[in-house]
Each structure stands twice: as structure tokens, then as C-alpha cells.
């Protein structure tokens, strides 16, 4: 069995196979060619654009196409000037050990250089670009950072766009064929759209969903969405508990897609996680209980305007109960919901039974529960 | 009857114990392994030893891909050696170096890897036994082949002579020019800080043999050559091979059997 991730296993082998950014890849090829011919406009090329759209891959393939040895460094190697000089500096002054025609020096993720840690990192790279006898390629997601200004000025800029989702679908379908997964068109579309132009993310998601399966249905993919929503709610919790004004807390709550019932469950679960001090806890729950009163009234009497008061009370109380500054807290999934989903089957079965009884006895389900069921239970327990 | 069953049980246990070691090698002098590790770790951060039925080998490149180290340690170099199949042993050399620094004179060294564990047991066998356990790395194996080069020169010389020449050259420059013509190895370095010219000849006894098919010369970076001089603890004699403007090869043959070979790409001529 091939253990490589699908992203690597089905990586394009030549420039022609590149999906989505073929023009940008060709532009890079032309630039490197002109550099080798001594006619390049700039001393380096800067590839930029969102993640997962083929920047690094194109560089690899260009190096291969032109028989250049690729010397690659990424952000984790940039930390000091020393390391940059040792690796890229060393590479830029010697010829290839394997008799290749030349080299291509790649600095990947240059926007990962952070101001403090990477003292001298940028200037070391500029220095290498100026001294190097080999073409230098830089890659950044966001090249407009002010720290990269100097690099922008000496580089030939090549933009890599987000990959459009129809192109992603085409690629995914091809992979599906190769691994023998029968994937529904809707499933692939959903994956592609969720990836938002990031082909690598799309392939990773696809592998996670489809590996080892014969069929991938659209409904399987929808589940993935739900999981990512769950991720989001942790952020919401953090936003609410760390807010310093009711308004701020309310804005966080309203900007999320979480509905009020879910939000109440999460707050209920996590107030004790956030507040270990009993005074703070009491304060938060006091407001929470008032919110609950409003929420219930809103539902029972169908006065939906009241919900906005419920939100204000619940999240405002949770936010302002703190006496000290916000502490980082690990939030947990509401146990009540967990339990409800856990014995959902049993409840469903019970409901069916009640319905049957109700039909036979000409009574509502409620009446069955309160007036018949206790007697039925007694009758049956006596018998055995 | 009972007796036989117990015997059988014990026998199976012993067998299990033997089988569960995929790899076990004992070196009579632990310091040799320490020197080997040092001469690898100077160039490479992590790498994969391949232990096979005939011995251990390792091939790795430095991060700038300018230099390569190639180790061959045949089973005969060990006091005892046991390995049925080829197994990869990926290690972080800094970590292994720190462990090997603890080896004492007259201590034997045992390297063991069991089937189940992703660890290498490093045992120092001296007055008492000390066992270090090194977590192994699951490094993707890059199949490296050594550079295919026909060398026009083959020079055998004392390690000390080469080491001295490199130290001399460092005083004035960060690279050297190596020239072979007639029966003479000439090393020249020049920079802003001055110039130095070193001649190594047969007369002095430092040059043991010299063969060449044509006069040759090439430039090499001192930063890398200096690192390779760590291996001088392993051997008194080294073999230097190169061709004009082509990579250089440097062999250190160990007295106890085994060989470390370095390759170094030439530096480009200044424009």
C-alpha cells in the first residue's frame, strides 16, 4: 500500500499538468530561462498568492524542467542570518555536486519571517540574491507586508491566483478515478467550494473523507462542514468570555452562525470552566438564569423580540462576571447535547411505542405518559 | 510430561528474545563510533543508517547540498554483528553525538534495535553497563547516489599534512586552489589578507603516492574542507581525488575496517 499522502502521490510530474495556475508557472519558467541567459529584468522572482495553489510545486517543476538542482529553505530555516548564509550562501557559491546545469535557490514562506526572531533574515536573503550566480525564487502568501518591501523591489513579481472550484473538481475527480472511489458530483463540488481556492486543502479533505471507501456521498461531506462549525464555536466562547463590554460580547455572539439554544448550552457548560472563583461563577449563572427566563417566555408566548434580551443577559453576564482579566480556558462540548445525541435511538424507540399505545388507547402521547404508562409499568413488573 | 512442556516454554522464550533483536552490533572500541558520529554530524543534522546483513552504511548530504558524506562499516569491523534484514535507523546526529560524548576509554559499545521499538539502544560496556535509548526518526528515505565522476588524480597523503595545509590557508582566505602537476600537490590560497602556497611532495614523506592522468586544478571552499577534517581522528592516511573544476572526493580508511568518504562540489571561479 502506498503510504504517501494523496497530495504528494498525485502531484503533477511536469509543468503541463499544473492545474489552475499554468500561466503563472510558465511565466516563472520564462523568467528562470531569461536569468540563465543573463537577460532577466530582476535578480529574483517573487511568487505570491494564497496557500495551496501551486507556488512551491511550480518552482520544483521548473527546476526539474531546466535540470537545475533545487536548494530549498523555508521559514523554519530562516531564523538566523547565520543559517541562511550557511545553507543558501554555501549553495550559491559552489557548483552542483551532481553535475547539474546549475541551481535554483528557493526561499519558501518568506512572510513567515517574524520581526524580532529573524534578526537580519531579510537582509541576509537580499545579500544572497545580490551575490548569487543562480536564480533565486521567493514565495510568500502576502507579499505586501512592509518588511518585504526591499525584496519586492528587487524581484520579478508573479501572481498565483486562487484555483477556481471547477478546476479543483476536475482534479479531485481524476484522483477519485485513480484510487477507485466512486464520488458523487455534489460531494466533490462541496469539497472544492469549502477549500476556497486551496487545491492542497481540497485534496487533503478529499483523502480524509474518501480514503478506504468505495463511495463518497454528498452527505458525508456535509458532516465535515459541521465539524468545522464546531471549531468556530470555540472561538465564539473565547470572544464572549474575553469581552469587556456587553456590546462587544453581543457582537461576537451575533456575528457567529450559532443559534441561541446552542449558545445557551455552551455557556451553561463552560461558565464553570471559565470561572473557578465561586463569586464569579454565581454572578455569571445569575445573569444566565435571567436570560433563560426571557428565552422561555419568548418561546412559550412566541414573542421573538424577547430573544435579543436573552442574548444580552446571557453573554453580557458571562462576559462581565469576571473580576480579574481574562484567562485562557479550554472549553468543552456541552455534555447535555452529547448525552442527548447518545441516547437518541432509545428516545426514538420510546416515542414509537408511545405512539402505538396512543393509537390503541385513543389518547394523546402526553396522556399516555402521565395516565397510562405508570399502570402499564406496574402490570408488567408484577407479572415477572 | 510436565517437565518437557516447561522446557519447551523456556526454549520458546529464549528463541523469542533472540529473534526480537533485528539488529545488534558490538564494537570493541566505543570511541570509534564516537568519531564516526562526529565526522557525520559536522555536516548533517539527521540521516538514516541502513543496517544490513553485511554491515552499516549511511549516505547523506549537508543542507546546502554542496557536500556529501558516505559511510561504509562492514560487519567485519565489529566484534560481533547480527542483522538479518536491511533496516533503516533514522537518527538525529546532535542527540547521538551528545550520547557518544559519554563513552569512556576501554569501553565497548553495543548498538541494538528490537523489532517492536522505535528506539536504538546504545550500551556502553565497561566496568558496568550503561544503556542509552535514542528515539529513532521516521525520515523519508531519499535515495542518494554518489556523484559519478572520473577523477583525473589520485593522491594518498598523511592526514596531518592536509590538515596543516587547510589551517594555513584559512589564515588568508575562505577557499583554496588545489593543483596537481608533476609529482607535486600544490595548495594555494589568496585573499585580501595575503597569500599562501603550500607544496606537499614525496621527499618530505607526507605525500605517499600521486597518480594523475592530466594536470588538474580546482577551487574548494575551506568552510567545508575544515569540517571534513573532523574525520582525521579515524585515520592517519587519506586519499584525495579530483578533476579540473569537478567535485573532490576525500577517503578516510579506518584501521579497524570501514571507510568514510566525503564529496565536495567545487567553488565557482571568481568572475
Q: Do A91 and B264 touch (CB under 8 A)?
A: no
Residue among A71, A95, A98 minimizing CB distance to B266: A95
Exposed / middle / buried, residue B71 (Cβ in 10 Å: 0-12, 13-18, 19+): buried
Residue B143, in any domain of the structure: no
Do B127 and B157 sit in the same domain of this protein? no
CA angle B126, B132, B136 (to 5 degrees): 140
What is the rounded distance in angstroms from the CA atom of residue A3 to the CA atom of residue B53? Answer: 26
Residues A181-225: tens digit of each pLDDT: 898 888 899 888 888 888 998 998 888 888 888 888 888 887 766
**Domain containing residue B122: CATH number:** 3.70.10.10
What is the rounded distance in angstroms from the CA atom of residue A22 to the CA atom of residue A322? Answer: 54
Report chain A residues touching chain B, CB-CB < 8 A. Answer: 69, 71, 77, 86-91, 93-99, 133
Give, for all 384 residues of chain A, the pLDDT tens digit: 466 788 888 989 988 888 889 999 999 999 999 999 988 889 999 999 988 889 999 999 999 999 999 998 887 776 678 888 888 888 988 888 888 888 999 999 888 776 555 557 888 889 889 988 899 999 998 888 878 888 899 999 999 998 998 999 999 999 999 988 898 888 899 888 888 888 998 998 888 888 888 888 888 887 766 656 666 788 889 889 998 888 888 888 877 767 888 899 999 999 999 998 899 999 999 999 999 999 998 888 888 888 888 998 999 999 999 888 888 888 888 888 778 777 877 888 888 888 888 888 888 888 888 888 888 888 888 765
Number of domains in chain B: 2
What is the rounded distance in angstroms from the CA atom of residue B231 to the CA atom of residue B256? Answer: 14
Q: Are B21 and B80 in contact (CB under 8 A)?
A: no
Last residue of one domain, picked from the residues B76, B100, B135: B135
Do B59 and B105 sit in the same domain of this protein? yes
> A185-195 and A165-179 are packed helices; what angle lies between their axes, rounded to 10 degrees?
130
Residue among A71, A86, A133 minimizing CB distance to B65: A71
Residue B93, in any domain of the structure: yes
Q: Are B56 and B73 in contact (CB under 8 A)?
A: yes
- Dihedral Cα B127, B133, B139, B145, nearest 10 deg: 10
Cα separation values, B37 from A61, A257, B82, B100, Å: 35, 57, 21, 8
Question: Which residues partner with B218 through β-bridges?
Answer: B178
Residue B9, in any domain of the structure: no
Phi-psi region of B257 (alpha: psi -120 to 50; beta: other; left: phi over 0): left
pLDDT band at B107 (very low <50, low <70, confident <90, very high): very high
Q: Which residue of A lies nearest to B219 if distances are taken between CA atoms? A: A94
What is the rounded distance in angstroms from the CA atom of residue B110 to the CA atom of residue B26? Answer: 4
- Please say if the pLDDT value at position B9 is more than 80: no
Q: Which residues of B touch A69 (CB under 8 A)?
A: 65
Q: Are A199 and A20 in contact (CB under 8 A)?
A: yes
pLDDT at position B7: 65
Do B131 and B201 sit in the same domain of this protein? no
Compute the mean pLDDT over every residue in chain B, rounded to the nearest whole number.
Answer: 89
Beta strands A215-216; A182-183: pairing state:
parallel
Do B112 and B164 sit in the same domain of this protein? no
pLDDT at position B151: 94
What is the rounded distance in angstroms from the CA atom of residue A341 to the CA atom of residue B31? Answer: 63
Cα of A15 to nearest chain B Cα, Å: 23
pLDDT at position B120: 92
Q: Do A95 and B245 touch (CB under 8 A)?
A: yes
For residue A49 the three cell numbers come to 498568492
Question: Which residues partner with B219 through β-bridges?
Answer: B177
Q: Which fold has domain A21-159?
A: Rossmann fold (3.40.50)
Q: Do A90 and B147 touch (CB under 8 A)?
A: no
Mean pLDDT of B48-66: 92
CA angle B101, B104, B109 (to 5 degrees): 85
Handedness of CA A151, A153, A158, A159 (dihedral sign): positive
Q: Which residues of A touch B149 (CB under 8 A)?
A: 99
Last residue of one domain, picked from the residues B83, B109, B135: B135
Site from B44, B61, B64 to mutate, A interface, most A CB atoms within 10 angstroms: B64
Do B222 and B175 sit in the same domain of this protein? yes
Cα of A291 to nearest chain B Cα, Å: 54
Q: Which residues of A touch B63 (CB under 8 A)?
A: 77, 86-87
Residue among B63, B148, B268 minimizing CB distance to A95: B268
Q: Do B247 and A97 touch (CB under 8 A)?
A: yes
Q: Do B221 and A133 touch (CB under 8 A)?
A: no
For residue B41 the three cell numbers come to 554530524
Find the domain containing B188 and state its range.
153-264
Residues B175-232: tens digit of each pLDDT: 999 999 888 899 999 988 899 999 998 888 889 999 999 999 999 999 999 999 998 8
Q: Do A71 and B224 touch (CB under 8 A)?
A: no
Across the A:B interface, residue pairs with CB atoms under 8 Å apart total 52
What are the DSSP calls for B132-157, one per residue? EEEEPP-PPPP---------SEEEEE
Cα separation values, B217 from B150, B159, B187, B212, Å: 14, 20, 10, 11
Do B29 and B62 sit in the same domain of this protein? yes
Q: Do B64 and A69 touch (CB under 8 A)?
A: no
Phi, psi of A185 (to 5 degrees): -55, -45
ipTM of the complex: 0.74
Domain ranges of chain A: 21-159, 239-334, 344-383
Residue B218, in any domain of the structure: yes
Cα of A42 to nearest chain B Cα, Å: 20
Do B121 and B194 sit in the same domain of this protein? no
Residue B17, in any domain of the structure: no
Q: Are A44 and A11 in contact (CB under 8 A)?
A: no
Do B110 and B189 sit in the same domain of this protein? no
Residue B10, in any domain of the structure: no
Do B90 and B190 sit in the same domain of this protein? no
Other beta carbons within 10 Å of A294: 19
Cα of B179 to nearest chain A Cα, Å: 18
Which one, of B174, B163, B162, lies nearest residue B221 by Cα? B174
Residue A279 makes CB contacts below 8 A (sequence gap 6+) with: A323
Question: Which residues partner with A160 through β-bridges?
Answer: none
Last residue of one domain, picked from the residues B108, B135, B162: B135
Residue B190, in any domain of the structure: yes
Q: Do B66 and A77 touch (CB under 8 A)?
A: no
Amino acid at each position: 500500500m502506498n503510504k504517501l499522502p494523496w497530495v504528494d502521490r498525485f502531484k503533477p510530474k511536469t509543468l503541463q499538468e499544473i492545474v489552475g495556475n499554468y500561466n503563472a508557472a510558465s511565466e516563472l519558467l520564462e523568467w528562470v530561462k531569461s536569468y540563465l541567459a543573463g537577460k532577466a529584468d530582476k535578480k529574483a522572482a517573487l511568487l505570491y498568492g494564497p496557500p495551496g495553489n501551486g507556488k512551491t510545486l511550480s518552482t520544483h517543476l521548473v527546476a526539474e524542467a531546466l535540470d537545475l538542482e533545487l536548494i530549498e529553505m523555508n521559514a523554519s530555516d530562516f531564523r538566523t542570518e547565520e543559517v541562511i548564509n550557511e545553507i543558501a550562501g554555501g549553495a550559491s557559491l559552489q557548483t552542483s555536486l551532481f553535475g547539474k546545469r546549475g541551481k535554483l535557490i528557493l526561499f519558501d514562506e518568506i512572510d513567515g519571517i517574524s520581526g524580532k526572531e529573524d534578526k537580519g533574515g531579510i537582509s541576509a536573503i537580499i545579500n544572497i540574491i545580490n551575490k548569487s550566480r543562480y536564480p533565486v525564487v521567493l514565495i510568500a502568501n502576502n507579499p505586501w507586508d512592509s518588511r518585504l518591501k526591499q525584496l519586492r523591489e528587487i524581484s520579478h513579481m508573479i501572481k498565483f491566483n486562487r484555483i477556481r472550484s471547477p478546476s479543483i473538481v476536475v482534479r479531485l475527480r481524476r484522483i477519485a478515478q485513480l484510487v477507485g472511489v466512486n464520488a458523487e458530483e455534489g460531494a466533490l463540488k462541496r469539497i472544492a467550494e469549502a477549500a476556497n481556492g486551496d487545491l492542497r486543502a481540497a485534496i487533503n479533505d478529499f483523502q480524509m473523507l474518501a480514503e478506504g471507501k468505495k463511495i463518497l456521498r454528498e452527505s458525508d461531506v456535509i458532516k465535515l462542514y459541521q465539524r468545522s462549525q464546531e471549531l468556530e464555536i470555540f472561538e465564539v466562547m473565547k470572544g464572549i468570555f474575553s469581552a469587556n463590554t456587553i456590546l462587544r460580547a453581543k457582537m461576537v455572539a451575533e456575528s457567529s452562525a450559532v443559534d441561541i439554544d446552542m449558545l445557551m448550552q455552551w455557556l451553561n457548560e463552560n461558565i464553570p470552566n471559565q470561572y473557578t472563583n465561586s463569586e464569579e461563577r454565581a454572578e455569571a449563572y445569575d445573569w444566565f438564569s435571567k436570560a433563560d427566563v426571557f428565552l422561555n417566555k419568548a418561546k412559550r408566548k412566541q414573542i421573538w423580540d424577547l430573544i435579543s434580551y436573552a442574548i444580552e443577559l446571557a453573554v453580557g453576564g458571562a462576559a462581565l462576571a469576571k473580576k480579574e482579566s481574562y484567562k485562557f480556558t479550554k472549553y468543552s462540548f456541552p455534555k447535555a447535547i452529547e448525552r442527548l445525541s447518545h441516547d437518541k435511538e432509545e428516545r426514538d424507540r420510546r416515542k414509537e411505542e408511545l405512539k402505538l399505545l396512543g393509537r390503541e388507547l385513543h389518547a394523546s402521547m402526553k396522556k399516555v405518559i402521565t395516565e397510562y404508562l405508570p399502570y402499564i409499568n406496574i402490570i408488567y413488573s408484577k407479572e415477572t | 510430561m510436565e517437565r518437557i512442556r516447561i522446557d519447551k516454554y523456556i526454549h520458546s522464550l529464549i528463541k523469542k528474545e533472540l529473534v526480537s533483536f533485528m539488529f545488534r552490533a558490538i564494537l570493541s572500541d566505543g570511541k570509534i563510533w564516537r568519531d564516526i558520529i562526529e565526522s557525520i554530524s559536522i555536516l548533517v543534522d539527521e540521516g538514516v543508517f541502513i543496517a544490513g546483513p553485511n554491515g552499516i552504511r549511511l549516505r547523506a548530504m549537508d543542507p546546502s547540498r554542496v557536500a556529501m558524506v558516505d559511510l561504509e562499516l562492514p560487519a567485519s569491523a565489529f566484534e560481533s554483528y547480527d542483522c538479518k534484514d536491511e533496516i533503516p535507523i533514522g537518527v538525529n546526529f546532535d542527540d547521538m553525538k551528545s550520547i557518544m560524548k559519554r563513552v569512556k576509554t576501554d569501553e565497548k559499545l553495543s548498538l541494538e534495535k528490537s523489532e517492536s521499538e522505535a528506539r536504538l539502544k546504545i550500551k556502553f560496556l565497561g566496568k558496568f553497563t550503561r544503556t542509552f535509548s535514542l528515539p529513532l526518526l521516521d525520515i523519508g528515505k531519499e535515495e542518494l547516489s554518489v556523484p559519478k565522476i572520473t577523477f583525473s588524480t589520485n593522491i594518498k597523503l598523511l592526514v596531518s599534512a592536509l590538515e596543516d595545509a587547510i589551517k594555513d590557508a584559512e589564515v588568508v582566505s575562505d577557499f583554496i586552489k588545489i593543483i596537481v602537476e608533476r609529482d607535486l600537490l600544490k595548495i594555494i590560497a589568496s585573499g585580501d589578507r595575503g597569500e599562501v602556497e603550500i607544496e606537499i611532495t614525496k621527499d618530505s614523506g607526507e605525500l605517499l603516492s600521486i597518480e594523475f592522468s592530466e594536470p588538474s586544478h580546482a577551487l574548494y571552499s575551506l568552510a567545508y574542507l575544515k569540517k571534513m577534517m573532523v574525520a582525521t581522528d579515524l585515520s592517519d592516511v587519506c586519499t584525495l581525488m579530483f578533476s579540473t573544476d569537478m567535485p573532490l572526493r576525500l577517503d578516510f580508511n579506518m584501521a579497524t575496517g570501514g571507510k568514510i568518504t566525503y564529496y565536495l562540489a567545487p567553488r565557482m571561479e571568481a568572475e
